[in-house]
Every structure is written in structure tokens, then in C-alpha cells.
Chains A and B, each alone.
Chain A
């Protein structure tokens, strides 16, 4: 059946609530409002205010409360409306969720799932357009998921809830209306392996989350020029699937990393470094990168588009990688 990313995520939350009494959803406007992006629409009416819990605008307190509830037997899903607001909860995520298991010598694990919207592209200005998932992927103790397909929106949540440790799910705002066929029996999916979304032998385009659609579009355009690009969707930013990254580079000998984060100190830098470390002699061209321009994301449409990765820029980077090789 044809399903949107938003509906798939909602189905996943609903299924979790039905299957496990310990699961509840908590966050700003998840209940009576129906969710800022309408992901939880209708769940408040179905499950009531105890399990679809509207919170005050207190990111630090309700994320910390999610950690405490997770420590004490629950399986909370905490929704932070957008990644921009997650900065107000960084203390709880980085100082508590990520450290308690280790500091306690293995005694206290935190089975918490945090969902948040990330990314730019909707003319929301600098404070509503951050792509900070790469920051979080820097932190040991966290698992970072970036569902980019309807199947992953449907399937990653349950697996994340079964994980004994904190999992952050970054949902790119441009993906909610993405629609595709979803099998009736679609269910949980793995959260450790990257996925090849398109096979190709000439260049590897490595991406995740919100930039997967434009990367696939770039691959189509490249195919029209006779360049077969392989598209690797990382799916999980921490821990990275090193084997899958290595495998595609060994196959194509050329790589372009597409990442909506800023280039400096970014996830794309990490991937490029890992390729260099583990597959340097496989490379026929320098690793290319398509990232956001190093500016706070501007409001004006043309400026915003110019700042963000685009299919055109991916095509250009891929051409350079292929043309520049031996």
C-alpha cells in the first residue's frame, strides 16, 4: 500500500504502544496538538494523556525525565520537536544518557528512544534549519539512526526500543511527505547495517537521511551520462557500518560523501577519513564531499538552496571523481 514516511512513523509508534505497556510518547505538542509535524496525530485520542504525554517547553527536564523513566523500567519515546531544540537538552543527552552505563560500571543502562526532526530546506531560517546529527554521532554511548525511506520510518523504531541503550532517531523534515509502496506486513528492520539503495560500478555516493532522495536523483542523471553510481544509505551514523563503506569503495574506487551538515568537523569528514585509513590504495580519485555551505542557513529561498546539497552539486562532484581518475 502507498504510505507516507509520516504515516509509517505513526504506525510504528502506535504498534509500539500496543505491544508494550512500558512504551509511552512524551514531548512538546505530541498530544492534543497531534505533533508539530502531525506524526502523532490521533494517538492522544486513542491512548490518552498518560501515554501520549504533552510536556512543558522544558527540553532538558523532559529528556532527563525520559532517561530517568528508562532507568526505572519504562521504554519512553521522547520527541524533541526539532534538532534545534535538542541543544537545550544536550546536557541530559551527552552528560547523562550517554555516560550512565559507563560511569556506573555497567549497572545502569538507558533504554531511551529520542525522536527529532532535523534539516533545512523549508525557508525556516538559521535557528530551525540545523543538521546536527553528526554532532551526536560524535558521542560514544549513543546510537544514531537516520531513516531515509518509508520502510525505515516504519521499521527502525521498534528495533530502537528493543535496544538497551539510548537511540536517537533523526527524521529529516523534508521526508515526512515522502510516499512509497510499503508491504502490508512491513515491520521491524535492523539498525546496524548500511543499505545499497542503487547498484553501480563507477562511483560510490555515500549519504544518509534527507539527502538520500537528491542523491538518488543525481544517480539517475549520472546514468543518463553513462556513469553508474552506487548509492549507499548509511542508515546508522553511530556506529558506522565500516564494512559497507569499505565494500562499496573497493567496488567503485571512487567516493563522494553527501551530508547536509557543515563540512568542517562533519560526519562527511569522518567518513572520508575512514575511507582514507582503510581503503587508500583502492582509490582512483580523491574522496569528494557535498555538504552545506559554511553559513547559518539563510531564509531567502535562493540563498537557502545555494547553501544546501543539491542533485546538481552531487552530479558535479561525481563527474569530477570519475573524470579525475586514472
Chain B
């Protein structure tokens, strides 16, 4: 997919669309905050931000119920946030503070939250797919109508675990929604430079599961496709696969000098900013004004400012607790 001019189809439901806008903006502002804190050396380790890709997580998460499960990647701050983990708990985690969602044991790439069935945060490409298959297997065996949404990048499609997992899920007709976030680059390696078959939906369809591609810069399109897929999975239709065609506006990580892609390419995609696109579409309905935007922006900014205060006020776990959580405490 190439970048084009901003998509501006009118949202059918302005209230729902407004919420999607809000969710995308929350992710954007959280990520901007992360970059700022990283630059200020408040956060260390690897940091991968989701700026540009917000429509994918926002559109899909909005179709999941509270009992559904989510498995994500190392670029998962937004997924955690939209799943219901507080921005404060996420930032505190990156600070390495005990107030973090994993007590500072996981960090940016390993956010987990049992209360919202958020199973990480996996820093091995494709490593989460088998887990998602197992979560779904347990649901199937226990007769629960839960869906497991599994996020991974297009780079994962080159890994054996991708193929093994799709095969197993399809063979056993397990309730997994595979969400392939195709941002065109596996770190710095372009899809066409690393995979012989670049049509990822076609690749997935080889395993006999419904698979299609979606414009991942259009949150309404993502939401619509995800709803259709989630409903089908929940109804016993077996695993489904969505290829979300998206783009990462920022570098792969804070260490990435971006030698592998053209600034003009980035600029073209930036014109399709999913937040800007939806904002314009909403404004064209006449039911969303600049004042509404400013109010939303202030509200989200306040949420993030409070989250930073929460993270700042925390503290690391005592060193005496180092060896906890290697084995369960009984």
C-alpha cells in the first residue's frame, strides 16, 4: 500500500468515532511522553513507540469485551493502555518502579496485566503467537466464548512460530484473532527484502483461515473489519487473520538512525496520520469542532501529566526482593 491523501469518509456514528479519536490520541500522547522521558533519561532500556500505528490498536481493542484476552509485542504501550492499564502504571513500569504494572520487573517491552487479561508484552518476534493459541485452546476446552487477540508485526511472518501457530489454530479451529501490524519494516528490513510472499493475507490464507487486509491508517475501517472478525471468531468460526497496513512514523527504537528509509516516504505516510484523518472527517460532519478537539487534547494531556506525576512519585522495589517471582510464592 502506498500513502495517499487523507482519507475522509464520514463516520456513521459520530459518538463512537469520537471515542476512537480519543483512544488514538491517548496512545499518541502517551508515546510522546515516553520519548520525552527517555530523552530525559527517566526511562532506559529499549523503547519502541507506536506513533502512526494508533488506528490499529484503537480499532481492534474497541471490538473486544472485558473477558477477552490480548497478546502483544514489544511495541505494546498503546495496546496496554487501550486494554485498560492506566498510563500511570505503564509509565511507572518504564521507570522501573514497584508501582508499575509489573513492579518494574518487565519494563517497556514486557507490560502485563492480569486484571485486563493482558498477556504481554513479548520481545521475541512471533513468540506470543503460540501463547495466544494456548490461551484460546484453554477457552475452547473449558467452553468459554472468549476471543484472544494476538498482535504481531509483519516481521513475525518470517518466523517459524508464525506458521506453526496459524496451522495449529486453524487445525483446531481455535478462537484467535491474529492481528498482523504490517508497518513495512522489520526493524530496518523492508518486507520485500525479507519475504518471498509479501501478500501476508494470502500467506495466512494458506492455512485455511479467513484472512484479509485492512487499511490500518483508517481506524473506522480497522474497527469495522475487527468487529466482523471478532464476531465470527466468537461465534465459533475459528481463527481469523487481519493484515493491518500501517506505518511507524518514528524510528524503530530510540537507537535507530533510520538509514533504511527515505524521509519522503515517511512524510507521505505522515500525511495519512490516522488521528488527523479522523479529526478532519469528524469536523466535516459538523458535530465536532475545534473547541471539541482542544477540550479532548487538554483532557488527554491532563491524564498524561497525572501519569507522569504518579510514575515520578514511585520507587524501585527494595533490593532485598530481587529474587522474588522466580517461582510462585506459596
**Residues of A participating in the B interface, judged by any CB pair closer than 8 Å:** 24, 50, 55-56, 58, 60-74, 76, 91-92, 95-96, 100-109, 140-141, 143, 164-165
Contacts A58-B164, A72-B134, A106-B103: A96 and B127 contacting too (C-beta < 8 A)?
A: yes
Residues of B contacting A73 in the complex (Cβ-Cβ under 8 angstroms): 138, 142
B326 contacts the other chain (Cβ, under 8 Å)?
yes
Binds A, one of B31-39, B111-119, B188-196, B281-289: B111-119
Picked from B106, B121, B134, B160, the residue with its CB within 8 Å of the CB of A71 is B134
Residues of B contacting A109 in the complex (Cβ-Cβ under 8 angstroms): 328
A8 nearest CB across to chain B (Å): 27
Considering the chains assembled together, what is the distance between the CA atoms of A209 and B120 in angstroms? 36
A62 nearest CB across to chain B (Å): 7
Picked from B69, B122, B161, the residue with its CB within 8 Å of the CB of A72 is B69
List the 6 closest A-B pairs by CB distance, nearest first: A68-B134, A64-B130, A61-B164, A105-B103, A72-B138, A104-B112
CB-based A-B contact count at 8 angstroms: 146
Within 8 A of A (CB), among B165-222: 165, 167-168, 171
Picked from B102, B127, B168, B327, the residue with its CB within 8 Å of the CB of A165 is B327
Closest-by-CB residue of A relative to B132 is A68
Considering the chains assembled together, what is the distance between the CA atoms of A63 and B130 in angstroms? 8
A70 nearest CB across to chain B (Å): 7
A-B contact list, 15 entries, CB within 8 Å: A56-B164, A60-B130, A61-B168, A68-B135, A68-B138, A69-B135, A96-B122, A96-B127, A101-B327, A101-B328, A103-B106, A103-B110, A104-B114, A105-B101, A108-B112
A81 nearest CB across to chain B (Å): 15
B139 contacts the other chain (Cβ, under 8 Å)?
yes
B330 contacts the other chain (Cβ, under 8 Å)?
yes
Find the residue from A56, A71, A92 having the highest chain B CB count within 10 A.
A71
B214 nearest CB across to chain A (Å): 25
B12 contacts the other chain (Cβ, under 8 Å)?
no
Is B137's CB under 8 angstroms from A65's CB? yes
Picked from A24, A70, A108, the residue with its CB within 8 Å of the CB of B141 is A24
Picked from B119, B139, B329, the residue with its CB within 8 Å of the CB of A106 is B329
Is A64's CB under 8 angstroms from B327's CB? no
Is A69's CB under 8 angstroms from B137's CB? yes
Residues of B contacting A92 in the complex (Cβ-Cβ under 8 angstroms): 127, 130
Closest-by-CB residue of B relative to A72 is B138
**Residues of B participating in the A interface, judged by any CB pair closer than 8 Å:** 69, 100-106, 110, 112-114, 119-122, 124, 127, 129-139, 141-142, 160-161, 164-165, 167-168, 171, 324-330
Residues of B contacting A60 in the complex (Cβ-Cβ under 8 angstroms): 130, 160-161, 164
Closest-by-CB residue of B relative to A78 is B134
A139 nearest CB across to chain B (Å): 10
Considering the chains assembled together, what is the distance between the CA atoms of A107 and B114 in angstroms? 6
Contacts A60-B164, A64-B165, A91-B161: A104 and B130 contacting too (C-beta < 8 A)?
A: no
Considering the chains assembled together, what is the distance between the CA atoms of A65 and B140 in angstroms? 12
Is B105's CB under 8 angstroms from A103's CB? yes
New A-B contacts (5) at CB < 8 Å, excluding given A96-B130, A102-B326, A106-B329: A61-B164, A67-B134, A72-B134, A73-B142, A91-B124
Residues of A contacting B138 in the complex (Cβ-Cβ under 8 angstroms): 68-69, 71-74
Residues of A contacting B324 in the complex (Cβ-Cβ under 8 angstroms): 106
Picked from A102, A108, A164, the residue with its CB within 8 Å of the CB of B119 is A108
B19 nearest CB across to chain A (Å): 28
Considering the chains assembled together, what is the distance between the CA atoms of A101 and B325 in angstroms? 6
Considering the chains assembled together, what is the distance between the CA atoms of A83 and B130 in angstroms? 20
Closest-by-CB residue of B relative to A24 is B141
Considering the chains assembled together, what is the distance between the CA atoms of A128 and B121 in angstroms? 35
B239 nearest CB across to chain A (Å): 13
A135 nearest CB across to chain B (Å): 18
Residues of A contacting B141 in the complex (Cβ-Cβ under 8 angstroms): 24, 50, 69, 74
Considering the chains assembled together, what is the distance between the CA atoms of A64 and B152 in angstroms? 15
Is B134's CB under 8 angstroms from A65's CB? yes
Considering the chains assembled together, what is the distance between the CA atoms of A70 and B138 in angstroms? 8
Picked from B119, B168, B330, the residue with its CB within 8 Å of the CB of A65 is B168
Closest-by-CB residue of B relative to A55 is B168
Residues of B contacting A63 in the complex (Cβ-Cβ under 8 angstroms): 130
Contacts A56-B164, A58-B168: A141 and B327 contacting too (C-beta < 8 A)?
A: yes
Considering the chains assembled together, what is the distance between the CA atoms of A104 and B101 in angstroms? 8
B102 nearest CB across to chain A (Å): 4
